[in-house]
Amino acid sequence: MLRMGRVGLLSGLTLAAAPAHAFIAYVSNEKSNTVTVIDTDSWTVTKTIKVGQRPRGIDFTRDGKFVMVAVGDDDTIQVIDAKTQAVVDSLPSGPDPELFAQDAAGKILYVANENDNTVTVIDLEKRARLGDIQVGVEPEGMTISPDGKTLINTSETTNMAHFIDTSSRQIVANVLVDARPRFAEFKHDSSEVWVSSEIGGTVSVIDPRKHEVIGKVTFEIPGLRKEAIQPVGIGMTKDDKTAFVALGPANRIAVVDVATRKVTKYLLVGQRVWHMAFTPDEKYLLTTNGVSNDVSVIDVAAQKVIKTIQVGELPWGITIAP
Amino acid sequence: MIRWLAGLIGLGLAATSALAAEPALIGVGYLGVAGTRSTLSLVEQPAENDGIAGARLAIEDNNTTGKFLGQRFALEERRIKEGEDVVQAATALAEKNGFIITDLPADALLKVADALRDRGTLLFNAGAIDERLREADCRANVIHTAPTRAMLADALGQYLVWKKWSRWLLVVGSHDEDKLFADALRRTATRFGAKIVQERNFEDKGGARRTDSGVTLIQRQMPVFTQQAPAYDVLVAADESEVFGAYLPYRTWDPRPVAGSAGLVPRSWDAAQDQWGAIQMQNRFMKLNSRRMTPLDMQAWTAARMIGEATSRTNSGDVKKVTDFIKGPDFSVAAFKGTRLTLRDWNLQLRQPILLVDGRMVVSVSPQEGFLHQVSELDTLGYDRPESKCKLK
C-alpha cells in the first residue's frame, strides 16, 4: 500500500517536473464516424473531426504531417492534415479497409481488405493502387518487420499469419495460429512476431525466420470466465522487455514480460479495450475502450492507469504524432 | 486391430507427403429433403437452397485456407424426394464423402447414423432441433450444430426473466413439434422462475396460408382468441408449424408483446446479425447466394467450417483423425458470435449463444448477464451434463 502510494507520488512528481512536452493523439470512433484529438499535456479533447463511415485503423504518415484513417463502410482511407485537422484527401484502398501498415520510408501502404481476401498495395506519393496480394479469409492484422522486408498479415477465419516478401509481394510462409488472429507486432530486434488470437484467447509468438510458433502467451484472470479474455491490440516497449496486450471484454491490459512470456500484471481499463499507442517518449500508453467510450492513460513505468478521457462512441484505433 | 489401423494411417501419411504437390481432396456431402415448407410470412419463405448455401460459403472459405495447406474441399448435394430411401442415398453419398451435413427429420437422421456407423462417416446435424437426438437417441457419429428446442426456449426465457416479464400466457399449436416446443418453454419457465398463467391451444383446422382477404379475418379472430386471459406480461407462442404465431403480434386483446414462434424469436442466426465481425460473412454470403443468410444456412456453414478447422489444425483430411480432433478437448470454432464455440462432450451438441430477433434487428443475445455456470455460461442454455440421458455409442 505504502509502496503504491510512493509510486503514485513519484509519477505525480514526474508529471509536474517534466517540461511541457505535449503530444497529440488521434482516436477513431467506430460508431460516431469521428476522430477525437487529444492533447497529452492537458489530457483533454481539443477537437473532434468528422470523417467517413466506420473509422477504425488509424496511423500517422512517417513525416508526421498527415493522419490516415480507414473508413471501412466508405471503402476508402481518408487523409487528415495534422496542421488544419481536416480531411484533405482519400486513398484507393479497395473495399472495407480495416487495418493497414506502411513501410519505413512511408512510401508504400499495405491495406487489409476484409471483404475480398486481399491485401492492397498503395503508392502513398502517387495515391495509386499498385496491386493486390491474395491472402486468407478476412485479412485483418498488418505489420512490417523492422528491416522492411517482410509484411505480416493475419486472416481471421483462415487463422493464419501470412508472411509476405515486400519486394516480390509473394507469400513466403503461412503460420497457423489460434482462432481469429487480429493483430501482429514485431519485437524491435526482429527476433519475434507476436500475433493475438481474439477467439483463441492467446498470443502466439512466432520465429519469423523459421516461420514457427515458438511459444504462446496465455491469460487467466480469477473470477473472469475464459471466453471474456479476447486479446486484440499489442504494444511493445522499445527495449523489447515489456509487452502490453489488450484483452477486449475482459476490460484489462495484460502486462507481459517478453523474455518469459508470462503475465506480470493486469491493469483494469475501460470496457472492451481494443488498441493502444505509446507516447513517443514511452512514458504513457493510451488504450481505446470500445464499450465505455473512453481512452485510458497508463503510466508505463509505474504500470498504473492514471487517467480516463471521454471520447466519441465506440473508440477503436489510436495513433500519436511522432 | 489397433496396429492395423496405425499402419493404415502411417501409409496414408506417407502417400500424402509423396504427393505433396497434389492437394488432398476432402469430400463433404449434404443430405436434405426436397421441397420447402410454407411459412405464414412471405418474407420468411425459405429458399430452395436454404442450408446448403451456407455450406457452400464455408467450403469456399475452407478452400481459401486450404490453398495454403494443400487441401481442397468439394461439396456434393443430395435431396431426398418423398418415398425415396434415405439410407440408400446416404450410403451412396458416403462413398466419396467422409463427412455428411444433414438437414433431415429426427427419425431419418437416426436411420442414416446407424447405417453409416461402421463406415466411420461423421455426420453433422444442421437441421433437427429435437432434444431426443442429444438425449436418449444420441449417437457417437452425429455432431449437432443446430441448437435444441430447450436451448432456444432457455435463451428466450432468460431474456424475458431479465426483462421482468415473468407472467406468460402460453399458446400452443396442435402439431407434435408445437407441443415439443411448449414442453421446452414449460421447462424454461420452471428453471428460471417464470409463471405460465394460462395455456391455450390453437387448433390447426387446415386452410391456406395465402388468401386474398386474410388480414380482415385474422384481425377479428386473434383478439377474440386472446381475450379474457388472466393478467400476463408476455404472450409466448409455440407454433413451429407456422399456423398462427405470426398472426398474434399487434392483435392480442390486451396490448402485450409476443415471443416464441413470433415476435421476439430465439434463433441460432439472423440476417441482421452484424456484430463480432459478422458483417464480413454476411457480405460474403450475399455475394455468393444473392440473398440473406438464415439460421439453417449458418448451422450448415458452421458444420462445414468445423470440418475445415479440424483439417487445418490436424493438417490432415483423414476422417478418423479429424473426427477425433473435433471430439477432443482442444477443439473450438469461431462463428461470429463473440465467443469460441465448443462441443458438449457428453452428447456432441455445439455450445452457442442464441440470438433473440424481431425480424428486423437482433434485440439481444443469450446467455443473459447473471445466468452463471461453473463450466461455461453457454451451458445455462439447454440440458446440462448432470441431467443428460445420453450415452454415446
Pair type for strands B258-260 and A97-102: unpaired
First to last CA, chain B: 19
Q: How far, in Å, CA of A159 to CA of A197, rounded?
A: 8
pLDDT at position A14, please? Answer: 44
Q: Which of A115, A136, A138 has the CB atom closest to B68's CB atom?
A: A136
Q: How far, in Å, CA of B157 to CA of A203, rounded?
A: 37
Cell of A317: 484505433
Beta-carbon count within 10 A of A150 CB: 21
B377 CB near a chain A CB, below 8 Å?
Answer: yes
Q: Per-residue pLDDT for B12 more than 70?
A: no
Q: Please write the tens of the pLDDT for every residue from B199-217.
A: 999 998 877 777 666 778 8
Q: Per-residue pLDDT for B13 more than 80?
A: no
Q: Determine, for residues B280 and A138 on separate chains, whether the beta-carbon distance falls below 8 Å.
A: yes
Beta-carbon count within 10 A of A63 CB: 9
Q: How far, in Å, CA of B301 to CA of B336, rounded?
A: 11
Q: Distance from CA of residue B187 to its chain's centroid?
A: 20
pLDDT at position B109, please? Answer: 98
pLDDT at position B48, please? Answer: 94
Cis peptide bond N-terminal to A322, omega within 30: no
**CB within 8 Å of chain A, chain B residues 18-47:** none
Q: How far, in Å, CA of B327 to CA of A245, rounded?
A: 31
Q: For B279, name the nearest residue in chain A, comparing CA atoms only.
A: A115
ipTM for this prediction: 0.77
A200 CB near a chain B CB, below 8 Å?
Answer: yes
Pair type for strands B167-173 and B122-125: unpaired
Q: How far, in Å, CA of B210 to CA of A22, rounded?
A: 69
Range A19-35 average pLDDT = 88
SS3 (DSSP) at A228? helix
Cross-sheet strand order for the sheet of A294-299: A273-278, A284-289, A294-299, A304-310
Residue B21 binned pLDDT confidence (cut-offs 50, 70, 90): low
pLDDT at position A11, please? Answer: 45
Cell of A23: 503530444
Q: Which of B61, B68, B283 has the CB atom closest to A174's CB atom?
A: B68
Cross-sheet strand order for the sheet of A34-39: A44-50, A34-39, A24-29, A315-320
Q: How far, in Å, CA of B28 to CA of B40, rounded?
A: 33
Q: Per-residue pLDDT for A12 more than 80?
A: no
**Minimal C-alpha gap between A200 and chain B (Å):** 7
CB contact at 8 A, B265 and B257: no
Q: Which of A96, A136, A199 has the CB atom closest to B340's CB atom?
A: A199
Q: For A160, name the nearest residue in chain B, comparing CA atoms only.
A: B65
Q: Per-residue pLDDT for A114 more than 90?
A: no
Q: Is the pTM of this model over 0.95?
A: no
